[in-house]
A and B are shown apart, each in its own frame.
Chain A
Amino acid sequence: MTVLFTDSGAGGDANPIGGSYVTLTGLIGLQRLSNTIANASGSDGDCAARINVATANDHYCKIRPSTVSNRDFGAMVRCQSGSAGGVLMTDYNATDVEVYVLVAGSFGSFVDRDAGTYQTTSDVYMEAQGTSYLTKIGASTINSFTDATHSTGQGGIFAYDSAARIINVEIGDFAVGDTLFAQALT
């Protein structure tokens, strides 16, 4: 895999907090606040941020939450440029991890649900391979499923509520020879 973007949240705190946020290089509209990455102005269906470098359409996004329980945010893949579109993973009810598809001009459509919750001690991971998707929390695969809504796009982060907090972000492509989840086409 080729890592295209990382941020460890190790940058300096905003000063004052709530004042001058630091915009992260390489991501659009994503800002760092107090050693975490915060959604400053997200609303339902927004791609809070997407990577601003060329990403293969098959890619992954991995985040580490710094807050859990009733938080509507998560990793995102196939973010569409210039519109609220893409596939997102969220843990809004602290009971299930759900995946929604966003389409420009429409609201989120349910795609997948898994019993489980985000943990501040585990990464949240989503991968897009053709029409197949894979989700993980930590090292555990929680589900894989088919959806064909978005064939193209970039990795990013989704956030609905302003309490969303993410410490680490990693977005990357796949390369020849990688061990992939991809479902073989027949």
Chain B
Amino acid sequence: MTIRVYLMPVIEAERGNATRRIPKYLSLVDGTKSTFIRYGQEDVGLFIDNSSDAASAAISANSDVRTFPVDLDTVVTNGPRTQIVNALEALNVPAHWVANGQTFRVVFRRLAGVFQLLQNVQGRGLRFLQASLDSPISGLPANVRQAMQDGAAALNLSTTGITGATTLRVALASIGAQFDARPVRACGTEL
């Protein structure tokens, strides 16, 4: 089966007699494996799935879903770049770094890397995005700044060059860039 990557909203739904946060269109899948890389506790994530072409078409038909090319080594060109940047920025995901000539694999890995850092901050009981992306890091509470540092260390990431004056978007872009050559495991394979 073909593995596809989507940018998909998160919803709260009843699962197992409990309310849980799940990918919005999880009910449409018909594949054997699905993986979700959450943007910390924000309401969006990367959904990776091996559903059929028909199910994938049904998922992609939703206006709040963005679908990556099946071939992640496809190169970003100007038109898609504008769409990607607009879609991500509308979801409070920094995307100024997306450039023509990058592959969608690099875009995916950088997003997954940034999402993982926010997951780790969330795992420490904190929300990272407590200020706009264009705010300086110094505007975040001290415990959030510390959680970001600790999270980066836990993920073997460098925070060199990130200071209090660095904006959240630039800091996150710096984190994401460290994932260019770091595969992401999803649906039992490395992407």
Q: List residues of A whose CB falls within 8 A of some B CB.
A: 44-45, 72, 83, 85, 90, 92-93, 98, 100-101, 103-115, 131-132, 141, 143-151, 160-161, 183, 185-186
Contact = CB atoms under 8 A, between A and B. Distances in A.
Given A103-B122, A131-B116, A148-B120, A108 B18 contact: yes
B51 to A, nearest CB: 11
Nearest to A116: B32
Nearest to A184: B183
A105 B41 CA distance: 12
Given A113-B26, A150-B123, A186-B182, 16 more contacts: A72-B16, A72-B17, A83-B125, A92-B16, A101-B38, A103-B125, A107-B18, A110-B21, A110-B26, A112-B35, A112-B36, A115-B32, A132-B185, A141-B188, A161-B17, A185-B156
A146 B20 contact: no
A-B pairs, top 4 by smallest CB distance, nearest first, are A92-B16, A148-B116, A149-B123, A44-B18
B67 to A, nearest CB: 19
Nearest to B155: A148
Interface residues of B, number: 43
Interface of B: 10, 12, 15-23, 26, 29, 31-38, 41, 112, 116-117, 119-120, 122-123, 125, 151, 154-156, 181-188, 190
16 contacts: A106-B41, A106-B122, A107-B19, A108-B18, A108-B21, A109-B10, A109-B36, A111-B36, A113-B33, A114-B32, A132-B185, A146-B112, A146-B184, A151-B120, A183-B183, A186-B182
Nearest to A104: B125
A160 B16 contact: yes
A115 B33 contact: yes
Contact of A145 (B22, B31, B182, B187): B187
Nearest to A161: B17
Contact of A146 (B15, B33, B37): B37
B123 A100 contact: no
A143 B21 contact: no
A110 B22 contact: yes
A113 B34 contact: yes
Nearest to A78: B123
Contact of A143 (B19, B120, B155, B188): B188
Contacts of B116: 131, 146-148
Contacts of B32: 114-115
Contact of B20 (A108, A132, A141, A148): A108
Contacts of B37: 146-147
Contacts of B29: 113
Given A107-B18, A111-B35, A148-B155, A183 B190 contact: yes
A26 B185 CA distance: 33
Nearest to B180: A186
Nearest to B16: A92
A185 B156 CA distance: 9
Contacts of A146: 35, 37, 112, 116, 184-186
B154 A90 contact: no
A148 B16 contact: no
B185 A107 contact: no
